[in-house]
Chain A
Amino acid sequence: NAGVTQTPKFQVLKTGQSMTLQCAQDMNHNSMYWYRQDPGMGLRLIYYSASEGTTDKGEVPNGYNVSRLNKREFSLRLESAAPSQTSVYFCASSEIRSVNEQFFGPGTRLTVL
């Protein structure tokens, strides 16, 4: 089992460019999440999908969109990247929304110039 996989691991964008971060899990989990982690701050939830076919905004959704493609895959899109979106992005999954352990992917380090 690979667990949670994310691509790419690193990315550098110019302001205004767009990109999609990919995430997949092979644990048959219902819920998936996208977080960002910035220095000196806790993980902040961008979007989550409690179950296949549903998505909801988290704490910091502005500038992002998501797609729950199927039960395994949950992608995050930056339509027009801004320097404020420079961060480490983590995808996570759990059996049930937020109730039990969340399993994380290795992260994507994104720099927006």
Chain B
Amino acid sequence: RKEVEQDPGPFNVPEGATVAFNCTYSNSASQSFFWYRQDCRKEPKLLMSVYSSGNEDGRFTAQLNRASQYISLLIRDSKLSDSATYLCVVNINYQLIWGAGTKLIIKP
């Protein structure tokens, strides 16, 4: 079993819709969690950290469920510019473990 698993997608979503995807992790000692965004043929960039109580940044909401060992990302009112691959990242003992990413395509 991979340490960090994501549905590769693609998720094809109409502009303006709400989309959510999850990421599961296997190591209960995981200490911190992040969502990165990667555009096609570009480098990853931090989208948001994920806090225990959940957190929101504009149209983006991240949640952590330690009991079930998953994190989620919700995007509301999706824009064409949200099309990208979203990478789930878990910090285990100061080493980042990266998921393979979920590809999101927003259609007009």
Contact = CB atoms under 8 A, between A and B. Distances in A.
B100 A41 contact: yes
B96 interface: yes
A97 interface: yes
Interface of A: 35, 40-45, 58, 90, 97-99, 101-102, 104-107
B43 A42 contact: no
Nearest to A101: B46
Interface of B: 4, 8, 32, 34, 42-46, 49, 87, 91, 94-101
B44 A40 contact: no
A41 B43 CA distance: 15
Contacts of B49: 101
A57 B73 CA distance: 31
Which secondary structure dominates chain B's binding surface?
strand
Given A98-B91, A99-B91, A99-B94, A42 B44 contact: no
Contact of A105 (B43, B87, B97, B99): B43
24 contacts: A40-B8, A40-B100, A42-B4, A42-B97, A42-B98, A42-B100, A42-B101, A43-B87, A43-B96, A44-B98, A90-B44, A97-B94, A98-B91, A98-B96, A99-B32, A99-B91, A101-B46, A101-B49, A102-B96, A104-B44, A104-B45, A106-B42, A107-B42, A107-B43
Given A101-B49, A106-B42, 19 more contacts: A41-B100, A42-B4, A42-B98, A42-B100, A43-B44, A43-B87, A58-B95, A90-B43, A97-B94, A98-B94, A98-B95, A98-B96, A99-B32, A99-B91, A101-B34, A102-B96, A104-B45, A106-B43, A107-B43
